[in-house]
Amino acid sequence: MHKHHSALGLATSLRPVQPVTLIRPHAARRAARFFVEKFPGRSLYAVKANPSPDLLALLWESGVTHYDVASIAEVRLVAQVLPEAVQCFMHPVKAEEAIEEAYFSFGVRTFSLDTMEELQKIVRATRGATDLNLCVRLRVSSDHAKLSLASKFGADPAEVKELLLAARQAADALGLCFHVGSQAMSPAAYGEAMARVRAAIVEAAVTVDIVDVGGGFPSSYPGMEPPPLEAYFDVIHTCFEALPISYSAELWCEPGRALCAEYASVLVRVEKRRGDELYINDGAYGALFDAAHIGWRFPVKLVREEDSDARDMGFSFYGPTCDDLDHMAGPFMLPADVDAGDYIEIGMLGAYGCAMRTGFNGFGSDLKVICEDEPMTTLYGADEDETLRSNVVKL
């Protein structure tokens, strides 16, 4: 993979025709070390956020040893890239064949569930195994999150007691897990969810060995500047310490976006301007799925040798396909003199952007270049030196 110091260096030297993904390995290492060192428990990387083998290897080198997988394809991928990694199959609804393959072929021992039916499926597929970690997923509020995950999964409150009692009988280690939604903007989200965990433990009167607070840890985007992540960790730690659980119980989390959002951005070229609309060479069927379909606003900057003196104005984007749905409303704030032939860097696309690409209409690009400058925005500080960049944990 080629290296450039910055997006500007790439744009001016190569003038790429296709969109280029700019990879910043040091940003992923920094985020991983932050969670490994500061979260008061174990961090499982949520592979769905970005399944790049290069990224998986970077996270492993930085101390992330456990991985949250949601499909048998992700299980196979992690096993191939990181054969010593511990995998946790945290999708609450799995094919019986997937459970069987994960357990017998890849040594997966941790499974989530939210119904009695799923529990019975796991027991059947593993042939009554006695070494299972079973995590019952609770349904909790997504009120503090930008993207809700409250409707699809989570045990019915009326069934939680019975499910916990049954899972306790089948499990070597019993866990409770939840997900507060993607991009949780307040630490209160975790405090409220942990209150549900406490109530479930008290009602069922079971011994709980694992409490998994899931994902939802935010990154910084225009109009979405969250509190410091340490504030989230403090709330989680305080609530965990107050739970009626044994001293040996483990605390887990499943960061996805927070570990990889800063890892990648995309350099695009403007092909046409029509008023406040810019036609660019990536879009809804590429890295900008979230910008198109849920109105996510990503940081943008004009990449041009000479700085523009024009005031900023709001633009919307059209992607390269012939579909009207290939539209990103924004507004994306750029200098008013941006025009065809200019390059734009769109940041914070390491999470989900890289994972959602398709080849629809024949458009798309796998071009990747390593950039050594800082991401467009960061929650982890931008003052690391070369020693910190290269001093990764070797496992």
Residue ranges with strand state E in the chain: 2-4, 20-23, 42-46, 66-69, 86-89, 110-113, 133-137, 145-147, 173-177, 182-184, 210-212, 250-253, 264-274, 277-280, 300-303, 312-318, 327-335, 343-346, 368-371
pLDDT tens, residue by residue, 198-251: 999 999 999 999 999 999 999 999 989 999 999 999 999 999 999 999 889 999
Q: What is the pLDDT of residue 392?
A: 36
Q: What is the pLDDT of residue 118?
A: 97
Q: 205 and 163 in contact (C-beta within 8 Å)?
A: no
Q: What is the pLDDT of residue 165?
A: 97
Residue 388 has pLDDT above 50, yes or no: no
How far apart CA 243 and CA 150 sit, in angstroms, is 23
Residue 36: strand, helix, or coil: helix
Model confidence at 385, pLDDT cuts 50, 70, 90, reads very low
CA-based nearest residue to 179, from 266, 91, 271: 91
Q: What is the pLDDT of residue 362?
A: 84
Mean pLDDT over 353-366 rounds to 85
Q: What is the pLDDT of residue 238?
A: 97
- Retrieve residue 171's tokens: 């499990």
CA-based nearest residue to 379, from 345, 351, 344, 343: 351
Residue 248: strand, helix, or coil: coil
Tallying the residues shown for the chain, one arrives at 395
Model confidence at 391, pLDDT cuts 50, 70, 90, reads very low
Residue 382 has pLDDT above 70, yes or no: no
Give ∠ CA 49-1-279 in degrees, rounded to 5: 65
In the chain, pLDDT over 70 holds for what percent of residues? 96
List of residues 6+ apart from 110 with CB closer than 8 A: 86, 87, 88, 89, 90, 132, 133, 134, 135, 175
Residue 395 has pLDDT above 70, yes or no: no
Model confidence at 166, pLDDT cuts 50, 70, 90, reads very high
pLDDT tens, residue by residue, 81-116: 999 999 999 999 999 999 999 999 999 999 999 999
Q: What is the pLDDT of residue 1?
A: 61
pLDDT tens, residue by residue, 251-299: 999 999 999 999 999 999 999 999 999 999 999 999 999 999 988 999 9
The amino acid occupying position 307 is: D
State the alpha helices, DSSP H only, in 39-139.
Answer: 53-61, 72-81, 96-106, 116-125
CA-based nearest residue to 10, from 377, 371, 375: 371
Residue 4 has pLDDT above 80, yes or no: no
Backbone dihedral angles phi then psi of residue 343, each to the nearest 5 degrees: -110, 145
How far apart CA 203 and CA 214 sit, in angstroms, is 22
Mean pLDDT over 331-358 rounds to 94
> Which H or E element spans position 230?
helix 229-241
Q: Find the Cα–Cα–Cα–Cα dihedral 8, 390, 215, 354, rounded to 10°.
A: 40
Domains of the chain: 2-22+264-371 (2.40.37.10), 26-260 (3.20.20.10)
Q: What is the pLDDT of residue 384?
A: 46
